[in-house]
């Protein structure tokens, strides 16, 4: 399980829970608005919006983007391409745009989401950095400027430097899980059939789209263990948490 924080005898998992624990135990009133105020309610909302809403379609896009890059039988590639294209255009991409537009409007005229820099901005920086790294913030100037402000913070730069040193000590592992490759074709066939049955109304039936995504993601994750990706994610998580130290 990652991320996990161990502090003495206390172990906390989940990024949002870790951030709240650090604020409660070590924050000394920093990086959060005063309790009971309107900014405090906004803070709670944005703190949990980051992974509860914003990160979900980005994760789906990441998994589906890996489908075509993953080793698979040649006959499965056209099927995978059809599944990816349908779900991307009818469900994932519209969901990402919806969230980005909402955050752009909410940030208009502000430097930070709750007025002053807070842990909510740290949480939101992770999904927005993921979008920015793929050139996806075009048309969202407020969000692009927000990412720039986060990345220019001295604490952020120190955290990245610390994370780089740690990554240099790791030895990434890549490899295929043999049985997973053979099962991949069958899983993709089943997912294609689901898209054919439900493809016209994926946006109106998010539960159906979720199940298709789970089916394909399971096939891909069984077929290939992407340790390099996990290391990159761990590095960003370390940077997010290290920002809380300042």
Instruction: Output the tens digit of pLDDT for each of the chain's 246 residues.
Output: 568 999 999 999 999 999 999 999 999 999 999 999 999 999 999 999 999 999 988 888 877 777 766 666 666 667 777 777 788 888 888 999 999 999 999 999 999 999 999 999 999 999 999 899 888 898 999 999 999 999 999 998 888 887 665 544 544 434 333 344 444 455 555 655 655 555 555 555 556 555 655 555 555 554 444 434 444 444 555 545 455 444
In the chain, where does DSSP find H-type helix? Answer: 15-26, 38-49, 55-67, 77-87, 93-107, 119-133, 141-151, 154-169, 178-198, 206-223, 227-243
Looking at residue 201, its pLDDT comes to 54
Burial of 224 (0-12, 13-18, 19+ CB in 10 A): buried
Contact 242, 155 (CB under 8 A): yes
Looking at residue 181, its pLDDT comes to 41
pTM over 0.75: no
Contact 47, 119 (CB under 8 A): yes
């Amino acid at each position: 399980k990652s991320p996990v924080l161990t502090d003495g005898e206390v172990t906390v998992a989940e990024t949002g829970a870790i951030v709240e624990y650090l604020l409660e135990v070590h924050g000394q009133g920093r990086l959060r608005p005063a309790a009971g105020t309107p900014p405090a309610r906004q803070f709670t909302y944005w703190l949990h919006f980051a992974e509860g809403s914003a990160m979900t379609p980005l994760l789906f896009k990441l998994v589906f983007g890996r489908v075509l890059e993953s080793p698979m039988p040649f006959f499965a590639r056209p099927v995978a391409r059809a599944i990816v294209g349908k779900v991307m255009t009818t469900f994932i991409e519209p969901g990402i745009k919806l969230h980005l537009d909402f955050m752009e409007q909410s940030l208009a005229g502000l430097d930070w989401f709750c007025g002053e820099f807070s842990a909510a901005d740290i949480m939101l920086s992770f999904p927005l950095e993921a979008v920015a790294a793929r050139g996806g913030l075009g048309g969202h100037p407020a969000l692009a400027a927000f990412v720039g402000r986060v990345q220019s913070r001295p604490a952020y730069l120190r955290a990245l430097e610390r994370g780089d040193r740690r990554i240099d000590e790791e030895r990434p592992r890549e490899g295929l899980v043999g049985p997973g490759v053979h099962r991949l074709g069958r899983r993709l066939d089943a997912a294609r059939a689901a898209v054919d049955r439900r493809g016209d109304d994926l946006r109106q039936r998010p539960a159906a789209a979720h199940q298709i995504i789970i089916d394909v993601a399971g096939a891909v994750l069984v077929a290939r263990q992407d340790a390099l990706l996990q290391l990159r994610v761990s590095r960003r998580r370390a940077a997010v948490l290290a920002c809380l130290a300042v």
